[in-house]
């Protein structure tokens, strides 16, 4: 069997992550990374569409509690994702395929490590089981 290489889509909040990055072009070089202005802007339909398009997991990086530039975007995301996980479960998609991390990382140095870590979890889960 060929080595399984999971596809991970990563959304990150621009006000909390990577705004001081030395490499402005990094966003286009890291695979499947979508910086957004606020994590609250990510719709559940965006996440579902990712799975439908072939992603094995979605990682959402938001800013830490109390630090959202748009007041409560991170809290909205948390609410949305917690509910979405329940829905995904009923369709046979493991809830761990949608992860969230709320923190501040101006240089974005931690992003590759977070992607690798979640990638390892996805390898354990194996390819998504389609119904």
Q: Which residues bind other proteins (CB under 8 A)?
A: 7, 9, 14-15, 19-22, 24, 32-34, 36-38, 40-43, 46, 49-50, 53-55, 65-73, 75-76, 80, 106-107
CB of residue 94 to other proteins, shortest distance in Å = 18
Q: Residue 7: helix, strand or coil by DSSP?
A: coil
Closer residue to other proteins, CB minimum distance, 78 or 85: 78
Closer residue to other proteins, CB minimum distance, 49 or 120: 49
CB of residue 1 to other proteins, shortest distance in Å = 21
Element spanning 59, H or E = strand 57-62
Two tokens at 92? 């046979």
d(CA 82, CA 50): 17
Please, are residues 102 and 62 in contact by the beta-carbon 8 Å criterion? yes
Two tokens at 76? 């909205």
CB of residue 13 to other proteins, shortest distance in Å = 10
């Amino acid at each position: 069997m060929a080595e399984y290489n999971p596809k991970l889509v990563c959304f990150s909040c621009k006000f909390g992550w990577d705004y001081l990055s030395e490499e402005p072009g990094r966003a286009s070089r890291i695979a499947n990374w979508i910086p957004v202005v606020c994590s609250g802007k990510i719709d559940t339909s965006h996440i579902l569409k990712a799975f439908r398009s072939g992603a094995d997991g979605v990682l959402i990086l938001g800013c830490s509690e109390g630090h959202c530039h748009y007041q409560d975007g991170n809290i909205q995301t948390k609410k949305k994702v917690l509910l979405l996980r329940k829905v995904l479960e009923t369709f046979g998609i493991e809830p761990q395929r949608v992860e969230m991390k709320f923190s501040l990382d101006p240089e974005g140095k931690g992003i590759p490590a977070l992607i690798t870590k979640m990638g390892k979890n996805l390898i354990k889960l194996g390819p998504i089981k389609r119904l």
